[in-house]
């Protein structure tokens, strides 16, 4: 059986894997990338960030057109052309995926299109060819896969995943969305806005548990105002297909309920793609969740094997996956590298209103025993958001009472994902609220809304 040896082997060609391969190539001569997906590019480009945000933005434009009377406009017969939406998405993501393909197929790397499984601590077997590959260092960046939890009938009932929703070229009449996480909420609102009757069922009392309860409440109100039939605090009992309809039975506040629709979308989360890698033979340990255990340099229990991105966690965020991949490859190369600083992380949910955060959350601050001062300000009392009819939400900032430095911020509202970066920069650089009040906050802009809670923080901190 043939065996090939490389200096550095990356398993997975997505954002974390490509970042690691690119960084490793700065030091190592012989770098290989093993990828078994039919298409090269990774989750973000092909079936995640880029296609979803392309479709979501189109749906936002349609939503504004359909509510043109709020702006003194008459836009007649505004509707979605699903085939055109689909085609625009394909063209858009091709721009990104073609670049990634070119990079992976370039002579910088040895690209191996096969599935790798560890057979010992320094060897993987390629399941297609039977060939074996050894390396001085391995990087595992296999991402995540759709989770199908144990709900009676769900596994046996054909259903959509996010891949299917992102690939639609027709308008579904009605859809039941199972789940209330980021993917579920973003795509439920997309479907609703293009004209589908949406019923969404969330098991916990709020959607978007990854965010704050205050933020989730704003989004839930917006969803219900837009006509989404949102059920929370439920217990799923069964899923079935009866004739041409999907039927979901569940209890809500102790009451048995049943909903029917033409389609069913399982959006009950994703799980790390770690189960079929033979990790136990490589001496790599995993958590109960399936995430690979790593240290702050992304090393696994086997110091020659690293992991990064969704398969390692702790967050499913692309820029963090890239940073992790760079740290891991740099460390393997013997460079002096700094671990990823999660205290400065940013996160965005692309619902409308959007939810964005920077720094550590109020809950995290409390867990660490950090005394904070907090201030907020609503969008419905702010000039630019009022004239834009963008009145949902608020901005909120908090500072460490002892040092006076900003340590966290949250924005729920129009273009929150853009607005949050003003606070992300401030938090990363260790700025105080008084420092930010030296900034020329232009009027009228959405960004100037930050100045109001900052003024309150200055008053409370005394400087």
Q: Tell me which of 237, 252, 268 is where a domain ends.
A: 268
Query: Domain for residue 155, yes or no?
Result: no
Give the per-residue pLDDT at 1.
65
* Same domain? 136 vs 281: yes
Residues 343-358 have a mean pLDDT of 97
* Same domain? 426 vs 390: yes
Share the mean pLDDT of the chain: 95
In the chain, the percentage of residues whose pLDDT exceeds 90 is 90
Give the per-residue pLDDT at 240.
97
Query: Domain for residue 45, yes or no?
Result: yes
211 has pLDDT over 70: yes
225 has pLDDT over 80: yes
Residues 208-214 have a mean pLDDT of 96
The DSSP string of 78-146 is ----HHHHHHHHHHHHHHHHHHHHHHHHSTTSEEE-S-EEEEETTEEEETTT--EEEEEEEEE---EEE
- CATH number where 185 lies: 3.50.50.60
179 has pLDDT over 80: yes
- CATH number where 363 lies: 3.30.390.30
Query: Domain for residue 151, yes or no?
Result: no
Q: Tell me which of 268, 283, 305 is where a domain ends.
A: 268
Split at pLDDT 50, 70, 90, the class of 400 is very high
Residue 49: closest CA among 292, 348, 343, 291: 348
Give the per-residue pLDDT at 253.
87
Q: Tell me which of 252, 268, 284 is where a domain ends.
A: 268
* Same domain? 311 vs 349: no
Two structure tokens written together for 208: 């978007």
What is the b/e burial string over 284-306, where b = at least 16 CB atoms within 10 angstroms of the residue's CB? Answer: bebeeebbbebeebbbbebeebb
Domain that holds residue 443: 343-461
What is the b/e burial string over 263-273, where b = at least 16 CB atoms within 10 angstroms of the residue's CB? Answer: bbbbbbbbbbb
* Same domain? 53 vs 172: no
57 has pLDDT over 70: yes
Query: Domain for residue 182, yes or no?
Result: yes
User: 100-138: per-residue pLDDT in tens?
Assistant: 878 778 888 999 999 999 999 999 999 989 999 999 999
Residues 415-426 have a mean pLDDT of 98
* Same domain? 142 vs 281: yes
Among 13-17, 223-227, 370-374, where is mean pLDDT lowest? Answer: 13-17
User: 289-344: per-residue pLDDT in tens?
Assistant: 999 999 999 999 999 999 999 999 999 999 999 999 999 999 999 999 999 999 99
* Same domain? 139 vs 275: yes
38 has pLDDT over 90: no
26 has pLDDT over 90: yes
Report the Cα 288 to chain-centroid distance in Å.
Answer: 21
Residues 254-277 have a mean pLDDT of 95
Query: Domain for residue 416, yes or no?
Result: yes
Residues 435-448 have a mean pLDDT of 97
* Same domain? 275 vs 258: no
User: 141-156: per-residue pLDDT in tens?
Assistant: 999 999 999 999 999 9
* Same domain? 12 vs 134: yes
* Same domain? 188 vs 314: no
Q: Is residue 57 within a helix (H) or strand (E), and if so which, with residue range?
A: helix 49-66
Give the per-residue pLDDT at 190.
98
Two structure tokens written together for 29: 């001569």
* Whole-Å CA distances, 309 to 20, 123, 282, 320, 433: 10, 22, 19, 7, 33
Cα separation of 288 and 391, whole Å?
42
* Same domain? 244 vs 381: no
3-state secondary structure 91-110: HHHHHHHHHHHHHHHCCCCE
* Same domain? 117 vs 217: no
* Same domain? 324 vs 348: no
How many domains is the chain built from?
Answer: 3
């Amino acid at each position: 059986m043939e065996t090939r040896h490389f200096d550095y082997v990356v398993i997975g060609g997505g954002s974390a894997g490509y970042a690691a391969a690119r960084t490793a190539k700065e030091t190592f001569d012989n770098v290989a990338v093993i990828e078994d997906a039919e298409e090269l590019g990774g989750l973000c480009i092909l079936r995640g960030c880029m296609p979803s945000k392309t479709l979501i933005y189109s749906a936002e434009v349609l939503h504004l057109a359909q509510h043109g009377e709020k702006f003194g406009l008459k836009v007649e017969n505004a509707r979605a052309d699903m085939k055109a939406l689909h085609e625009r998405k394909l063209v858009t993501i091709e721009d990104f995926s073609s670049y990634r393909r070119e990079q992976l197929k370039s002579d910088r790397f040895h690209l191996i299109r096969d599935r790798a499984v560890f057979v010992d601590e320094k060897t993987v077997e390629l399941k297609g060819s039977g060939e074996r590959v050894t390396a001085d260092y391995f990087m595992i960046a296999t991402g995540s896969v759709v989770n199908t939890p144990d709900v009676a009938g769900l596994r046996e009932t054909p259903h959509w995943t996010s891949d299917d929703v992102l690939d639609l070229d027709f308008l579904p009449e009605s859809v039941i969305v199972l789940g209330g996480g980021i993917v579920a909420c973003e795509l439920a609102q997309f479907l609703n806005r293009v004209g589908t009757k949406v019923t969404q069922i969330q098991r916990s009392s709020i959607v978007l548990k990854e965010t704050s309860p205050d933020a989730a409440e704003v989004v839930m109100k917006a969803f219900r105002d837009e006509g989404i039939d949102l059920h929370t605090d439920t217990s799923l009992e069964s899923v079935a297909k009866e004739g041409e309809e999907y039927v979901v039975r569940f209890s809500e506040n102790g009451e048995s309920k049943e909903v029917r629709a033409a389609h069913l979308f399982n959006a009950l989360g994703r799980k790390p793609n770690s189960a079929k890698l033979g990790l136990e033979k490589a001496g790599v340990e995993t958590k109960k969740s399936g995430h690979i255990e790593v240290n702050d340099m992304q090393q696994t229990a086997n110091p020659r094997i690293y992991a990064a991105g969704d398969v390692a966690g702790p967050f499913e965020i692309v820029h963090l996956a890239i940073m992790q991949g760079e740290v891991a490859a740099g460390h393997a190369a013997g460079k002096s590298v700094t671990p990823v600083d999660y205290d400065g992380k940013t996160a965005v949910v692309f619902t409308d209103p959007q939810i964005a955060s920077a720094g550590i959350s109020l809950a995290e601050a409390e867990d660490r025993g950090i005394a904070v001062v907090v201030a907020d300000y609503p969008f419905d009392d702010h000039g630019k958001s009022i004239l834009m009819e963008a009145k949902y939400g608020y901005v909120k900032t908090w500072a460490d009472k002892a040092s006076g430095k900003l340590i966290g911020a949250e924005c729920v509202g129009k273009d929150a994902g853009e607005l949050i970066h003003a606070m992300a920069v401030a938090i990363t650089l260790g700025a105080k609220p008084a420092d930010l009040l030296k900034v020329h906050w232009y009027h009228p802009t959405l960004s100037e809304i930050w100045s109001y809670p900052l003024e309150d923080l200055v008053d409370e901190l005394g400087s």
